[in-house]
Amino acid sequence: MRIIHADTDDIENPLRGGQPVRTFEVNKRLAQSHEVTVFTSTYPGADKQVNRQDIHYQRLGITIPHWGLSSHLSFLNRLPAAIKRTPHDIVVEEFTPPFGFCNLQRHTSRPIVSIVQWFFFEHWQARYKLPFEDIMRKRALHYPERHIIVQTNKMGAYFQDLLPKSNIVKVPCGINASAFSETYQQGDYALFLGRLDTYHKGLDDLLWAWADLAKAGVRIPLWIVGAGKDEASLKSQAIKFNISDLVFFKGRLEGADKNIAIKQCRLLVMPSRQETFGMTALEAMAMQKPVVAYDIDHLNELLQPAWSTCVSLGDKQGLAKAIAELWQSPEQCREFGKKAYIAAKQYLWEEIAKKQLQVYLDVDIKRE
């Protein structure tokens, strides 16, 4: 099968999210038996083409400095022509900022499968003052019979309501076998792992909670691992809250370094305001680590009470209390960790790739 996969994000982009990780992990497995071309948007310093583990990557479009939408819009503008000139049997499109569906049906006669990983209309609408979700819903109805892969039941229900004639299949994200740890390590710090985006990741609430804990005499070292646009302001906030001696900004870590950081922590804190799955939480679960998070859609389908504590969104005092209680109970951390490890085993990338490929095959068979 000749597969085109269109993804606005790129795994080599320093500011990437989790979306291109799935694109790479699934496609490197499919590329062992199929021909895979991935179109991504460009970013400063990107090569136009690169081959990565039998996947052919092509970067489309341009980036205009200081205009965040430029790479996405120019990618969408160049994508139809790229599809037309590339032989293919199926097109896979990521649900793409800011409009969602690319509506590529006009540019190919082959089946199209949409994968929903980005789903954050509220933040984009507030930033650009445009009704992107309404635009998406209207565009979606142009082609009411679609094939859609979602990551959670909540997400599936949303699209089933919007597009009742569509074929919607749940295939969540995954994790590598190498990311699992069979031995438990108690750890001596709490860990935040992710992009330094204050609003999206709830880092303002996290630092408030840490200051609240410190005032109460509960002094817990916090590692903040990641990079992003808000790093400087977060460091300033830590100084303002008088917790700079407890909060350590470690920068972005990848591979073995990231795994070590997870293994050596006692618990993961994840006060995100928005997630579409929660890959960071899954990585912690694989390392036998409990998670403290906000109770938000999609993430709360992965995090269950047997291995995590979820508090109401925006309840900063509740967040601080949950962190303190778990930190001060090493045995509960251990028990949560064991159950988290078992639960994470069902998300191995090998199995996820098989399920995703089966969707492609089923769609192609139905078309024929």
* CATH number reported for the structural domain that contains residue 291 in this entry: 3.40.50.2000
Segments forming the whole domain that contains residue 108: 2-174+348-367
pLDDT at residue 46 greater than cutoff 70: yes
Give the pLDDT score at 96. Answer: 86
According to the model, what pLDDT value does residue 185 have? 95
User: Where is 318: in which H helix or E strand?
Assistant: helix 316-327
Residues 294 and 362 in one domain: no
Q: Which residues contact 106 (CB under 8 A, 6 or more apart)?
A: 80
pLDDT tens-digit readout, 201-217: 999 999 999 999 999 99
Calpha distance 91→84 (Å, rounded):
11
pLDDT of residue 368: 52
What is residue 16's predicted lDDT score, i.e. its pLDDT?
Answer: 78
pLDDT of residue 343: 98
How confident is the model over 220-230, as a mean pLDDT?
Answer: 96
Cross-sheet strand order for the sheet of 267-270: 247-251, 222-225, 190-193, 267-270, 291-295, 308-312
**Pair of tokens at residue 25:** 């992990």
At residue 172, the pLDDT reads 97
Total residue count of the chain as it appears in this document? 368
pLDDT band with cut points at 50, 70 and 90 for residue 166: very high
Number of domains in the chain: 2
Backbone angle region of 191, left / alpha / beta, with phi > 0 → left and psi within -120 to 50 → alpha: beta
Per-residue pLDDT, averaged over 98-122, amounts to 93
Are residues 147 and 208 both part of a single domain?
Answer: no
Does the model's pTM come out above 0.85? yes
Both 161 and 211 in one domain: the answer is: no
Q: Let me know whether 170 and 296 are in one domain.
A: no
> What per-residue confidence (pLDDT) applies to 65?
65
